[in-house]
Structure 1
């Protein structure tokens, strides 16, 4: 059996998150927390806003 943790990737348009007062970011955080409550395991959801450092600039 593998020791790897489950994880998810969230695909979205960054403009939509900014336009809706970061509603998608809030959803990601709440979903991570709820999965952890239900399973007892951390459930990281990859979001480019917080998980990518450097790179392309927003224009």
Structure 2
């Protein structure tokens, strides 16, 4: 689950995303456009980074 982070490392809010067919030890770079409703602690303008706090994996077989 991506977290929106401010300059001090505080989490401003979170959002959900998916990455299909992403294998082990691989990365995926995407852009994100947060909504005001996803920011619980601050403003969109306060976002300095986006980090991933949780990953759920499913087996496509």
Q: Give the shorter-chain TM-score range.
A: under 0.3
Q: Which has the higher contact order (CA 8 A, sep 6+)?
A: 2
Task: Output the TM-score relative to the length of structure 1.
Answer: 0.27
Task: Output the TM-score relative to the length of structure 2.
Answer: 0.27
Question: In proportion to residue count, which structure has more helix?
Answer: 1
